Copies of this chain bind each other. A is one copy, B any other.
Amino acid sequence: MPAISERAQLVPPSPIRKLVPYANAAKAQGKKVLHLNIGQPDLPTPPEFWEALRTAQIKVLDYTESAGMPAFREAYARFYKEIYGIPLEPDQVLTTTGGSEALLFALLTLFSPGDEVIVIEPTYANYIGLGWATGITLRPVQSHIKEDFALPAPDVLEDAITSRTRGILLCNPSNPTGKLYSETEVRQIAEICHRYGLFLLSDESYRDYCYDGKRFFSALEVKGAESFVVVIDTLSKRYSVCGARIGALISRNAEVIQAALKWAQARLAPPTLGQIGGLALLSLPSSYYSLIQETFQKRRDVLIEGLRTIPGVTVATVQGAFYLMPKLPISDSDAFAQWLLERFDIDGVTVMVAPGTGFFSQPEQGKSLVRIAYVLDTPYLEQAVEILRAALNIYAREQVPIL
């Protein structure tokens, strides 16, 4: 029997999804699981999406062009201009199957196997998986909870640059920390990229989630950076359409888009239904985006406030995305997350969190961290805080031996 590949053996499972079997088992036992593990907003998908599908009159559900429907790309460019004030041409937008595929295409297009790409840790777990898939070495630079996960100082970033470094991959606002990088920080990174001849790959999937009146500053707004900035975007979080699987690779470097198109051709096309529905979403009024910010800011406040009342818990003050990455009084976040699902509940309710280990190249750095996605309404978040409070209290005393 032939062996599977080394990369398939070595790539770690998603820390966000590997506990799914335990969650399913908990549910099978009749437990209710509050899903704080996965970045899926709970707001209803806007009715415009469903209306567009209902009226589409499709006879044959056919492929679109590999780069996406021309009308969709036009709407995307228009949306960027009208909502974000960023001028874009339709041919600077390559439609992808979610932000994940945009990232895959970017890594394949910008970097060669063995190249190094700097990421700020804790980092989005799936960057690690996609790094394995594309043969790229992620070189982590640490951000710290005690500094509210601020951008590492420029000299620290520069120290990480080697002869193999070809880019910096920034998640702004950050999944998993919730850190919103300021205009100054984005410009600092762009300046380093410019100076060292690196690509700046900016994952802006959560750009609509900014709080405390902060304005998001996109890498696309840095003048003079057009040739080396590549942005990952997605409709998933913006419109509660994670299951539509529609995102985009955006760049003003035509060579990048043309090369990425070849990977896009090799997988034929992004989903048609998601594009048809998504096209309608791109025309929503700006009030839609304000509603998102108000809703999630309130949740963030409730959650931070609640978590800070639990003994031994540290939470950073962050202003973006819908994640928090608190430090808990635990020494093995995988074991704790599994224990919550297998052994703990209050009145039949438990919570599912993502262990912090999966957000580091060296998993042990995340052993006391968990990622919490605040994608539930505030009463559930308050309930989750009480469950975590009681769970941590018992867990500390039990010293549960874990497999």
Contacts and interface: CB of A to CB of B under 8 A. Distances in A.
B197 A2 contact: yes
B40 A265 contact: no
Contacts of A18: 265
A245 B266 contact: no
Chain A interface category by residue count = 35 or more
A12 B63 CA distance: 20
Contacts of A113: 7, 113, 135
B271 A166 contact: no
Contacts of A112: 5-7
Output the residue of A43, A44, A265 with the most chain B CB within 10 A.
A265
A1 B255 CA distance: 11
A270 interface: yes
A100 interface: yes
A199 B49 CA distance: 43
Contacts of A143: none
A255 B12 CA distance: 14
B126 A266 contact: yes
A355 to B, nearest CB: 14
Q: Which 10 A-B pairs have the closest CB atoms?
A: A243-B272, A129-B266, A14-B265, A8-B259, A1-B227, A100-B267, A61-B243, A8-B109, A5-B112, A245-B271
29 contacts: A1-B253, A2-B110, A2-B197, A4-B110, A5-B115, A8-B109, A8-B263, A11-B263, A11-B266, A13-B261, A13-B262, A17-B265, A42-B60, A44-B59, A45-B61, A53-B273, A54-B54, A98-B267, A100-B267, A113-B113, A126-B268, A135-B135, A242-B268, A243-B269, A243-B272, A243-B273, A244-B272, A245-B270, A245-B271
